Amino acid sequence: MTASILIFGFSLILLAYWFRASCLLLLRNNSGKYRVLDPRFGFHGIKDRLQAGADPEAMHEVLARDYRLLTYLLGHAAALSLDSLEDRLLVLDYKVMQWYYRLTKSAAPEHARRALLEMAAVVGVLAQHVGEQAGVEYQA
């Protein structure tokens, strides 16, 4: 019985480690590759605004709005979807980081800022994937 519990616990730890490592690798491979689909998206300026001392809660609201817009587009456009495992992992990572932000925003503000930066990177990569599927032409 004890061995089963230890194996189960160790397996959960390894699964969590694999998930975080996979998400960070996906974000690192796609970092800097995305371009803004529309200037009304706010995710691209989150890093600069946080470094300038912007309110993290306001930045969280900007990211939530961008994420809602992307999920709306995905839900209502027939040709758009996030079917790949990588995209689904990033969506799950966004939700985990959102939860982490809520837990740490008052107790550990620096951790909350890092969660916001990761959420912004996830939204950027997902917006890039949606833009590629939609055939959006980017301006340099």
Tell me the per-residue pLDDT of 4-24, one tens digit each, with 9 for 90 and over: 999 999 999 999 999 999 999
Count of CA atoms in the C-beta half-sphere (13 A) of 12: 6
pLDDT at 137: 60
Q: Which residues of 29-39 are buried (b: 16+ CB within 10 A; e: fewer)?
A: ebeeebebbee
Residue 82's pLDDT band (cuts 50, 70, 90): confident
Q: What is the mean pLDDT of residues 81-88?
A: 82
140 pLDDT tier (thresholds 50, 70, 90): very low
Q: What is the pTM of this model?
A: 0.85
Q: What is the pLDDT of residues 36-54, one digit of tens each?
A: 566 778 888 888 888 888 8
- pLDDT tier at 139 (50, 70, 90 boundaries)? low
Two structure tokens written together for 80? 């758009």
Residue with tokens 């809520």: 102
Which residue did the predictor score with more confidence, 34 or 95? Answer: 95
Rg (CA), the chain: 17
Over 80: is that where the pLDDT of 26 sits?
A: yes
- Cα–Cα distance measured from residue 58 to residue 112, given in angstroms and rounded to the nearest whole number: 13
CA angle in degrees (0–180, nearest 5) for 89-91-97: 100
Distance CA 5, CA 8 (A): 5
Q: Which two tokens stand for residue 111?
A: 């951790």
Q: Residues 68-92: what's their mean pLDDT?
A: 83
CA dist 65 and 68 (Å) reads 5
